[in-house]
A and B are shown apart, each in its own frame.
Chain A
Amino acid sequence: MSLVPGAVERLAAEFGRLPGIGPKTAQRLSFHCLRAPRENIARLSAALIEMRDLVRPCTRCFFIAEGELCAVCSNPRRDPNLLCVVEDALDVLAIERSGEFTGLYHVLEGAISPIDGVGPEQLRIAELVERVRANDVREVIIATDPDVEGEATAFYLGERLAPLEITVTRLAHGLPAGADLEYADELTVARAFSGRRAL
C-alpha cells in the first residue's frame, strides 16, 4: 500500500526515534541519504558505530571519554579541589562554553525520579561521596536542573555531603544573560529574584 519502499520507511522510522525529529524531518533525512553518494553514507554509518564503540563514561567523573579519563579530568590545569555536580554530559558542555568554571565535574547520569524508579542508588552519588572523601575537595557546586527532580536531588546531595564538612553551594539559576524577560517563564524570574545576591 505504501508509496515508498520498505527500506526507506525503515530508515525514516530510525530517524524518527531521534530526539527532536518529527515524521516529516525523518522522511526528508531518509530521502537525503537516498540521494547522497554511497561513500558519504558509509562514512556516516561508520562514524555512528565508531562513536558507540570508542566512547564510554570517564571512570572518574562519568563525563564522556575515549580512554580511561575524559578531557577535563586529564587536564592538569583544572582545579581538583573544586567539583561541579551536573545531571548529564550535555550540562558539562553548557558550563564549559561559559569558560567560567576551572574545576572538575561529576556527572550523576540523571536525577532522582521515583516515578521512573530512579533513586540515589541508580545515580553516581555513592561515587561522588567517595570522591569527595578520598580527594581533598574543598567545594562542591551543585548544578542540577531547576525542575522538581533536579531540586529534590540537590536537596538530597546537600544532606549527604553535610557530614563531610566541606562547602556545598547551589548554582543560582537565574535568567540566561541576554534573555528576554518576556520569554522567561514566571518561575525562573521569581526564583532569579529570590536567589539574587549583593553586588
Chain B
Amino acid sequence: MTEAACRVDRLRLFAFRNYAAETIELGPGLNVIAGRNAQGKTNLLEAVATAALTRSPRAATAADVISWGQAAAHIEAAIHRPAAPVTIDLRLHRSDGSERVGRSISLDGRPRPARSVLGLCPVVLFWPEDLLVVKGAPEARRRLCDVVLAQLEPRTAAEMVRFRRVLEQRNALLRRVRAGEASAAPLAGFTEELVRAGGWVRAARARLVAALQPLAAEGLDVLSDGSERLGLAYAVDGESGETAATDPEAASEALAQTLRRRAGDELARGATLAGPHRDDVVITLDGRPARAAASQGQQRSIVLAWKLAEVRHVAAATGTTPVLLLDDVLSELDGERRRRLLDELGAGRGTQALLTTSAAGGLDLERHGEVRHMSVEAGRVSVTGETPAALAGAAGA
C-alpha cells in the first residue's frame, strides 16, 4: 500500500472498564494481545475504538465503559499520523443520579467538538459478533455501514444524528395520534425533516455499498478457494428489493413518495414505516441470497471479505491506512488462511493491527514483520516479547 499509515503509539486508560490506571505502549506493526478470558483484551481494543469514534461501538449504554463505582472514564491516545501527531483525550463522566453520560474531548489539550475527532485516526473493527452479520438482523448490516461512514463523511455523521432525533419525534407523534392524544397537524413538518436527513443517510449508505462491492468480491476470491461471485446491494425498506438512489436529493424525493403512499398505514400502526432505519444490505453469492444459502465457512469468508474491502476503501478515501482492531477472529482460521488474511490486510507491514487471542503464542505470526506480544491479566498489560525486526525498527518508531 502506498498510503501513509496511522497508528496508536500510546494508550493511557483510567477507570475504563476493568482498567483502573494503565499505560500501554503499542508497536507500529502487529500487536498480539494474549490472555485468559475476562482479563481485558477486548476492552483494550474497545478503548482504541472509543477514542477514534468518540463513543464505544459495542457498549449498550455509554455508562457501561466507566469502571464500576467511578465517576468518569478517561482515555488518552497518542496518535501517529502522516500529517502531524495528535493526542486525543476523551472523558466520559456520569451525571449525578442519571443514566446520562457527559463527554468531553480535547485534541492536544484543546477542547474540541466530537466531530473534529472522527476520521483523525480511522479504525476498522472486527468483533466476533461480526461473524453473525450475514444471517443476523438488518440492523447489524446497517451498523457496519454507519461505522465506516461516520469516519469518512462528517456531514453524514451529523445527518445520522439528526435522523435518529427526527425519527424519535415522528414516531412519538404517530403513537400519540393513534392513541387520540394529539392532532396529526404537526406531522408534515417532521416528515419534511425526516425526508431531508433520511435521504442523505440512504444515499450515503448506497454509495458506500456500491464502492465496497467490487473490493469485497475481489477479497472473497483471494480468501476462499471457491469461485462464488459476491454481490452487495443496498436495498431500501428491507424486502422490497429496490436499490436506493446514490444522490441525496433523489433519495429524499423517493422517500417522500413512499411516505405519502403509506400515510394511512403509518397512522394505523403508529410508526414510521419507511426510511434508512428499515433498509438492508442484501448479500448474494452467485446471485442467491447469502442469508439463506451461505454455509458457516462461507459466512465467515464473506465477512472477512467485507472487512478487507473496508480497509481498502478507507485507505483510498482518506489516504491513510486505518488501524485494525481484530478481536479473537484469527483463532478460528487455520494457519494458511490466517497468513493470507493478514497479508491482504497489510497487517504488520506498515499497517498497525491489534489482535487478541486466548491461545497464547499459538498464532505463528513471526512472518508478519514487526510483532509485539503482550499479555493482559486483570487490567494490567505487560509486553512479553518482540520480534527482532521490531527491535531493529524501534529506533524509528
The residues of A with any CB-CB pair to B shorter than 8 Å are 16, 23, 112-115, 117, 119-120, 147-149, 151-156, 159, 182-183, 185-187, 190
Contact = CB atoms under 8 A, between A and B. Distances in A.
B162 interface: yes
Given A185-B115, A190-B155, A152 B185 contact: no
B176 to A, nearest CB: 6
23 contacts: A23-B96, A114-B170, A114-B173, A114-B186, A114-B190, A115-B169, A115-B172, A117-B176, A119-B176, A119-B182, A120-B183, A147-B165, A148-B162, A148-B169, A148-B190, A148-B193, A149-B169, A152-B169, A152-B189, A156-B186, A156-B189, A185-B158, A186-B157
B54 to A, nearest CB: 14
Interface residues of B, number: 27
A125 to B, nearest CB: 10
Chain B interface, DSSP helix/strand/loop, else mixed = helix
Nearest to A17: B96
Contact of A155 (B155, B169, B192): B192
Interface of B: 96, 113, 115-116, 154-155, 157-159, 162, 165-166, 168-170, 172-173, 176, 182-183, 185-186, 188-190, 192-193
Contact of A114 (B157, B159, B172, B192): B172
Contacts of B193: 148, 151-152, 155
B115 A152 contact: no
Contacts of B113: 183, 185
Contact of B188 (A23, A114, A159, A186): A159
A16 B96 contact: yes
A148 B188 contact: no
A187 B156 CA distance: 9
A154 to B, nearest CB: 7
Given A114-B170, A115-B172, 10 more contacts: A114-B169, A114-B172, A114-B190, A119-B176, A148-B190, A151-B189, A152-B186, A155-B189, A186-B155, A186-B158
B152 to A, nearest CB: 13
A179 B100 CA distance: 30
Given A186-B158, A190-B155, A153 B189 contact: yes
Contacts of B116: 182
Contacts of A149: 169
